[in-house]
Amino acid sequence: MTCSGSTRSPSGTRCGFRVWPETAVGLTLAGKKPVAGWSRLLEDLTFAGQAGSDMRPYDRLIGAALDGDRWLFARQDTVEAAWEVVDPVLGDVGPVHPYGKGSWGPDEADRLLPERDTWHDPAG
């Protein structure tokens, strides 16, 4: 059995873990189709934190806004009070360094590591 997020074993049996947007654990098991012969049938079994709730966060926010539900949104005075606390802490932030999609980030990120250290690519 292969245990990973996306790799399938040759048999088709798989164990997957999903962290976002909904926490879930799933198994894909290879079995025999209920017909004559040995035809393989893959069955998915998923355990989710909130069954049937695959709604993305912005879907929920937009839906609440359209329905007039205010409980997901902060009031203006609350937001302004939060910024009064956060703004002095942020101070003079550094510049934003653009980088290409799918890259490891800007070259400036290499300066965060000690000499001769490199970033580790978890994908191999």
Mean pLDDT of 2-26: 66
Is residue 28 within 8 Å of 12, Cβ to Cβ? yes
CA–CA separation, 62 and 57 (whole Å): 9
Is residue 53 within 8 Å of 22, Cβ to Cβ? yes
Is the entire prediction scored with pTM above 0.75?
Answer: no
- Is residue 88's pLDDT more than 80? yes
pLDDT digits (tens, 9 = 90+) for 23-54: 778 888 888 888 777 888 888 887 776 655 56
Angle at 71 between CA 67 and CA 72, to 5 degrees: 85
For residue 122, cis peptide bond before it (omega within 30 degrees of 0): no
- Residue-level length of the chain: 124
